Amino acid sequence: MKGITFLLLLFPLLNLAQKDLPSRKGQLHFDLGLEYRITPIYPLESFSLGRFNPFTFVDQDQQNSGMGINIGMEYFLGKNLALGFSNTFRYDLIVSGQTEIQPDFGTAPNQYGLLIDYHLYLKYYFKLFGKGDLFLSVGISRMNTNSDFSSKESFFDEEGNLVGSILSIESSSYWANRFELGYSNKRGIIGAGIYMSNSTNYFEETTSFIVPFIKCSIKLGKL
């Protein structure tokens, strides 16, 4: 029922946008900007300490927040509907250095690397302002690629003797739904939105994980 009400409210705006927006069908637009991610939102009780979890050594708050560089392009399928693809590049935390501390006391540096996100989305423009457009974007993202790390789990008998170990490759990457609302004019783009997922590896059970973000870009040109 709420979805139907939303569509009824949105329909007049779609008609207005269709009439007033200049035709951009077939154009390919490019942009470059910065994206800042605010601290993720999730229920704290979702953490489980019942068994070994290599992601205990990954700070999910630090890894999914902070600044990144965003490079994108949009192809206009119609006068006000565009298909977009973009990458976000971040030099960020991969795994905590505590995994390397062998004695009871000591320190070790965290491991950082270049994380790359891939975004595919549809964007719809509304002509609500004289010199710019309001837009709504919906899509999917592959987050934190290039975050692979090795983990080791050891097994002991009842007397505390080492029985064996398992080595495996883990990754902090995950799929997320992407929603963004913003404003665009001839020079640039500003927007705010969220990445929303329930398939991250940070938790041992299905957990809602939301990453809010704000974005500011300049338009590089079009073909």
- Band of residue 8 on the pLDDT scale cut at 50, 70, 90: very low
pLDDT digits (tens, 9 = 90+) for 154-208: 566 676 666 666 666 678 899 999 999 999 998 999 999 999 999 888 887 788 9
Q: Which two tokens stand for residue 207?
A: 């957990």
Q: How far apart are CA 23 and CA 46, in angstroms?
A: 48
CA–CA distances in Å: residue 145 to residues 11, 44, 90: 38, 25, 10
pLDDT of residue 152: 60
Amino acid identity at 129:
F
Q: How far apart are CA 199 and CA 208, in angstroms?
A: 8
- Band of residue 52 on the pLDDT scale cut at 50, 70, 90: very low
Instruction: State the pTM of this model.
Output: 0.78
Angle at 47 between CA 46 and CA 49, to 5 degrees: 140
Above 70 in pLDDT, residue 121? Answer: yes
